[in-house]
Amino acid sequence: MIEIPILMTVLALLLPHRLNRPANIGVGLLTMAMIVSMNLKPDLDNVFFMCIQLIALIAIIGIAWQWRVLQRTGAISS
């Protein structure tokens, strides 16, 4: 399970914006589903760490959802 977020860190640097945004949203949702499905009868400490992971994934999905394509203005001239 840990391999997917590690892979997305690398792919976020390599993929173009058009592919990066939906990939981050899709993998974030997939990872959230995996976290919840693997902790069906959690202990109290597992609930704590699961909440932290889910909050972080919600933040990642929110940031990816709001991404805009950067426009180059050509304001810097040499």
pLDDT, tens digit, 9 for 90 and up, residues 12-67: 889 888 888 899 999 999 999 999 999 888 899 999 999 999 999 999 899 888 98
Q: How far apart are CA 35 and CA 30, in angstroms?
A: 9
The confidence band for 9, taking pLDDT boundaries of 50, 70 and 90, is confident
Cα-based distances in Å from 13 to 17, 38, 75: 10, 29, 25
Position 15 scores a pLDDT of: 87
pTM score, two decimals?
0.75
The total number of residues written for the chain in this structure: 78
Sign for the CA dihedral angle at 13, 18, 19, 21 comes to: positive
Indicate left, alpha or beta for 74 from its phi (over 0: left) and psi (-120 to 50: alpha). Answer: left
